[in-house]
């Protein structure tokens, strides 16, 4: 079988798809129900727990499994000619997703914004008992302040980011894709009022923790971050890592092992202005992806 879907929107408002607002509206409706309605809902839920519906065999399979991807062919085309979020004009976007002979391809996801753009290509194919996976992403001068204001309308966090990523992998299962990956990861950030309180993300929390340690002055700000990493057999290592804050210039060494799921980063700050007594002590980040610690590098503390 073949499925073709094409959707075009002249105007797409992000707030129309706000899940939190929908959940809040649902809670209000529940509060407005009578006692009889609440009791009826409770009885229905109890019956469902006593005799739960048995999911169909197809629902038990993972969405990206070989069986599901080979069931049918499909083409999905989405286009939004004008995208807005509150008062922010986000630009336009399009997506082309295809499934042909078991190969899932995103070619491309394209977002055009007033200050830059986003372009992503991805492919996934089960071949000879393995998963052949590839993704390329290019983000050029993207104003991420728009996303910050979606999370917290009152925030003054903003800035521009650029990203160039290439990942290619052949793995036995989805969970092992990054452990067998090759490629590169290049990233540049020009932040304004940078804060980890808005985006609860692993990478954002890591950057925030490092920035706080290398320059402890509360009035200090991060001016820019430039990261170039090579990826070989699941190991990310630095080609160039640099951070600039109000008072410090910081160079770094990075090892991120996706096989062992461990992170090892050493950041060496240098004061921009010579001082008679400087405590620009190297900062080390070490641990697992789920639990890493940030502190002074004991090996090189004496050098400061």
Structure confidence at residue 290 as a pLDDT band (50, 70, 90): confident
pLDDT category of residue 231 using cuts at 50, 70 and 90: very high
pTM recorded for the entire structure = 0.73
SS3 content of the chain, % helix, strand, coil (to 5): 25, 50, 30
Q: What distance in Å separates the CA atoms of residue 181 and residue 171, rounded to the nearest whole number?
A: 8
Nearest-5° Cα angle at 254, 198 to 262 = 75
Predicted confidence at residue 90, as pLDDT, reads 78
Give the phi and the psi of residue 67 in degrees, each rounded to 5.
-65, -45
Token pair, residue 134, equals 């590839």
- pLDDT grade for 131, boundaries at 50, 70 and 90: very high
Tokens for 145, please give them.
């302040």
Task: From residue 282, give the alpha-carbon distance in Å to each of 223, 253, 273, 295.
Answer: 19, 11, 17, 9
Paired tokens of 249: 């210039």
Query: Mean of the pLDDT values across residues 197-221?
Result: 68
Q: Which residues contact 79 (CB under 8 A, 6 or more apart)?
A: 7, 8, 9, 92, 93, 94, 95
pLDDT for residue 77: 96
User: How large a percentage of the chain has pLDDT more than 70?
Assistant: 74
Average pLDDT, the chain: 79
Q: Where are the alpha helices (DSSP H) in 61-117?
A: 66-69
pLDDT at 203 over 90: no
Q: Tens digits of per-residue pLDDT, 174-185?
A: 889 999 999 999
Write b or e for each residue in 26-46: b if 16 or more Cβ atoms lie within 10 A of its Cβ, otherwise e.
eeeeeeeeeeeeeeeeeeeee
C-beta separation of 249 from 230 below 8 A = no
Mean pLDDT of 20-26: 51
Q: In this model, does residue 248 exceed pLDDT 90?
A: no
Tokens 């503390």 sit at which residue?
Answer: 301
Q: Where are the domains of the chain?
A: 128-303
Q: In whole angstroms, how far apart are CA 101 and each of 97, 109, 135? A: 14, 21, 19
pLDDT in tens, 61-117: 478 888 888 889 999 999 999 888 777 777 899 999 999 999 999 989 998 887 678
For residue 202, report the phi and psi dihedrals to the nearest 5 degrees. -55, -50
Q: Which two tokens stand for residue 55?
A: 């999911």
Give the pLDDT band of residue 19 (cuts 50, 70, 90): low
Residue 59 has pLDDT above 60, yes or no: no
- Of 55-64, 251-260, 275-284, minimum mean pLDDT range: 55-64
How does 283-300 read in b/e, with b if 16+ C-beta sit within 10 Å?
A: bbbeeeeeebebeebeee
Higher pLDDT, 147 or 2: 2
Looking at the DSSP bridge assignments, the partners of residue 111 are 93, 118
- Report the DSSP pairing between strands 2-9 and 88-100: unpaired
Please return the burial class of 166, using the count of CB atoms within 10 Å of its CB with bins 0-12, 13-18 and 19+: middle
């Amino acid at each position: 079988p073949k499925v073709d879907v094409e959707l075009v929107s002249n105007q797409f408002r992000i707030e129309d798809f706000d899940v939190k607002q929908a959940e809040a509206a649902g809670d209000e409706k529940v509060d407005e129900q009578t006692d009889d309605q609440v009791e009826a809902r409770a009885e229905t839920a109890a019956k469902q727990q006593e005799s739960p519906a048995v999911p169909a065999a197809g629902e038990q399979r993972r969405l990206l499994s070989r069986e599901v991807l080979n069931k049918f062919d499909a083409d999905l085309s989405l286009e939004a000619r004008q995208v807005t979020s509150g008062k922010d004009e986000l630009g336009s976007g399009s997506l082309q997703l295809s499934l042909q002979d078991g190969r899932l391809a995103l070619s491309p996801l394209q977002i055009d914004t007033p200050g830059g753009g986003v372009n992503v290509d991805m492919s996934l194919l089960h071949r000879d008992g393995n998963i052949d996976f590839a993704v390329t992403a290019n983000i050029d001068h993207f104003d991420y302040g728009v996303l910050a204001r979606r999370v917290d309308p009152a925030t003054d966090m903003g800035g521009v980011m650029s990203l160039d990523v290439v990942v290619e992998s052949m793995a036995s299962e989805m969970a092992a894709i990054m452990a067998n990956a090759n490629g590169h990861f290049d990233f540049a950030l020009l932040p304004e009022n940078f804060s980890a309180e808005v985006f609860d993300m692993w990478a954002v929390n890591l950057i925030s923790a490092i920035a706080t340690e290398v320059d402890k002055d509360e009035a200090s700000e991060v001016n820019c971050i430039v990261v170039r990493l090579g990826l070989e057999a699941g190991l990310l290592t630095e080609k160039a890592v640099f951070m600039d804050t109000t008072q410090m210039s910081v160079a770094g060494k990075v090892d991120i092992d996706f096989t062992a799921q461990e992170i090892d980063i050493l950041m060496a700050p240098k004061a921009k202005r010579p001082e008679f007594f400087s405590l620009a002590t190297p900062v080390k980040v070490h641990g697992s992806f789920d639990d890493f610690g940030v502190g002074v590098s004991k090996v090189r503390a004496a050098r400061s």
